[in-house]
Structure 1
Amino acid sequence: MAKFLTTIGFDADDTLWHNERFFRLTQERFAELLADYAPPEHLGERLLAAERRNIGHYGFGIKGFVLSMIETAIEVTEERVPARVIGELMAAGRDMLQHPIELLPQVRETILALAPQHRLVLITKGDLLDQERKLAQSGLGEMFDGVEIVSHKTRQVYAEAFRRHGDGPARAMMVGNSMRSDVVPAIKAGSWGVYVPHGLVWALEAAEPPGDRARYREIESLGALPDLVRDIG
């Protein structure tokens, strides 16, 4: 009997390797740099609002984050922010773009366990050059049968990706740490959605679990995925 589940999609940032913690560290640096020029109250909220406004213009990723920090710095200081601070923020962004990749626990073992029997597809969003850099440095690139770097993760994106790289969404599974981007739209496309909590979640990625739980699963770590896949069949 042919197996039912043939294709497994993986998110990248904070599913395969650390990512959000570098944004948190840079945001702390942002607050430090502005300490002498603007009150700290609501600074994080102002930055998040700028990120929300700018996603449609800059997309997801470090470059858009840096531009949002600069925009927020200009706003909260009423255009008095020194050029030196702007330069420091740009330098912080460059440091993020050069940070070594650190895989999360059990990532390589999980992929090696699943690869012989399933098509594996990386589906990630963000800046093209940065995502390509991270994938190359991770050492995982050759383990995937397909790679999709997209601007947004939607129901249509998942449906098309799983048709391109597999037997369609009904026989596919998407695995990731974002309920909003990895799980809910994949389930809406007809796939399984597997939530792997990371601990650090960007506010704009937070969402409630799907109302229809028939194809929804949650595991504590990626190491539990092979057993889940075997149970589904």
Structure 2
Amino acid sequence: MRPTARLLMDPPRDAATNMATDSALFQSAPSSPFPATLRVYGWKPRAVSIGRRQKSEDLNLRYCMDNGIDVVKRPGGGAAVYHDREITYAFVCRTDLLTPPTSGEWRKVFTRLLEKLGLAADDANVCRGGSAKDASCFSCAGEDEPTVNGKKFVGNSRRKSKTAYMQHGSILLESQPDFLRRAVRNPGTDNSVGLLDLAPALRPEKVSEEFISAVSEILNLNFQPTAMKGEGRPSTS
């Protein structure tokens, strides 16, 4: 019998609220009545996030401030991401009730998402000129991030403790490399592509639906739509 996990469908929120919410889910995971939670959300206003070990010096803070771009540090690792035309997710689980997904399983999730959208992943990842040392997440693909025509459409980062696991990531709808090049210092080669760049007729809602379906299928979970209760979600204005 499939475990029942929680599904949170959140409206777009500011960067600080989004990352505080993900942090609250991670911190409260060991006492959650659900073995796992999948949160799907967006950003308003647009934002740049950096990994928790990344330095703010990697960003052009003046450009971000002058152009109304929020800046925030993620609770997970990884490099800088520009958040605007995308679908963002956070998957959090209790490690005593659910074995955290492997990189291979996440790769299957995103490969299955592409299939559901009528697209195909490359047989092997290709990073054309990109490096894992670049300041931008979308310079180089990780083993859990399938590419399409040598381009990266999803960027993931994760965090683990003895009692909880979190992976959160950005599924690009449209690639916007010009903003990233201005907001991030030394971003490296851009290897990004959005799903709507590949298939313009796709609706964002369809991408969200098929992503949730792919997670359910590959990770063998049933999802129950619900709301956060008692995890300390930050107040919003």
TM norm. shorter chain > 0.5 = no
- Structure 1 or 2, whichever has the larger Rg, is 1
| TM-score scaled by length of structure 1 | 0.26
| TM-score scaled by length of structure 2 | 0.26
Between Structure 1 and Structure 2, the one with more strand by share is: 2
